[in-house]
Amino acid sequence: MNIVLLGSPGAGKGTQATLLVKENGFAHISTGDIFRAELSNNTALGQKAKAYMDKGELVPDELVVDMVNGKISSLTDVSGVLLDGFPRNLSQAKAMEGKIPVDLVVYIHVDKDEIIRRLSSRRLCTSCGNIQSAKNGQSCDKCGGPVIQREDDTETVIMNRLNVYEEQTVPLIAFYQNQGKFVQIDGDRSVDEVYQDVSAAVERFS
């Protein structure tokens, strides 16, 4: 079963993906995480992506699509693929058609004001990747590692990422709604409440 998690930056896609992977054995493909890993390993792809990520722009489609295709073709023995942060526009969605059939699109909706609040106070654990709020302090709730603010979680870049989301990613909602495999979930609730609806949707479509 192949699932696309759709939603604005900060809607909670990564958090829900982690829970789904733990329970269902899906392979998690987060294009943002892959680019950040490439960057910390100082690869050519990471360096190319950095210029776009720093500004909150999308990395060019050809780089993203090739990277995702490579990841998917290297997978063996998984119960399905969970795409998180991909596709991000119609051309990526169309490039993916035929390569990997999408069975379900889970759209996590959160109002823009709440998104801005979340992104501005979001902190990332550099050891385990846990996401938490700045009000939880300087060390990770899960592993005690150091937490940082992502470079693209600063005010100017947040606003640009949200504009890019409205212009390029929001059209995917109608695209997938028309295909009858689309479930919208209210993401402005506790992680557990959102997860109950996400896993119910996965069960319904499996």
Residue 169 Cβ vs ligand AMP, minimum distance, rounded to whole Å: 9
Q: Is 122 a catalytic residue?
A: yes
The answer to whether the beta carbons of residues 112 and 143 sit under 8 Å apart is no
Residues 6+ apart with CB under 8 A from 30: 14, 17, 84, 85, 86
Q: Is 150 a catalytic residue?
A: yes
| 93 scored as a contact of ligand AMP (CB under 6 A) | no
The answer to whether the beta carbons of residues 132 and 141 sit under 8 Å apart is yes
Residues 6+ apart with CB under 8 A from 76: none
d(CA 36, CA 42): 10
For ligand AMP, the nearest residue by Cβ is 32
Nearer to ligand AMP, 52 or 205 (CB): 52
Pick one of 4, 11, 53, 115: the residue that binds ligand AMP (CB under 6 A).
53
| 86 scored as a contact of ligand AMP (CB under 6 A) | yes
Q: Is 204 a catalytic residue?
A: no
Nearer to ligand AMP, 75 or 200 (CB): 75
| 195 scored as a contact of ligand AMP (CB under 6 A) | no
Residues 6+ apart with CB under 8 A from 54: 151, 152, 157
Q: Which of 117, 150, 181, 189 is catalytic?
A: 150
Residue 104 Cβ vs ligand AMP, minimum distance, rounded to whole Å: 18
**Edge-to-edge strand ranges of the sheet holding 131-133:** 131-133, 122-125, 147-148
Nearer to ligand AMP, 88 or 118 (CB): 88
Q: Are strands 131-133 and 122-125 parallel, antiparallel or unpaired?
A: antiparallel
Mapping DSSP to helix (H, G, I), strand (E, B) and coil, where does residue 28 land? Answer: strand
Q: Is 88 a catalytic residue?
A: yes
Nearer to ligand AMP, 58 or 125 (CB): 58
Residue 177 Cβ vs ligand AMP, minimum distance, rounded to whole Å: 20
The answer to whether the beta carbons of residues 131 and 122 sit under 8 Å apart is yes
What residue ranges bind ligand AMP (CB under 6 A)? 9, 31-32, 35, 52-53, 56-59, 64, 85-86, 88, 92, 152, 161
Q: Which residues are catalytic?
A: 13, 88, 122, 150, 161
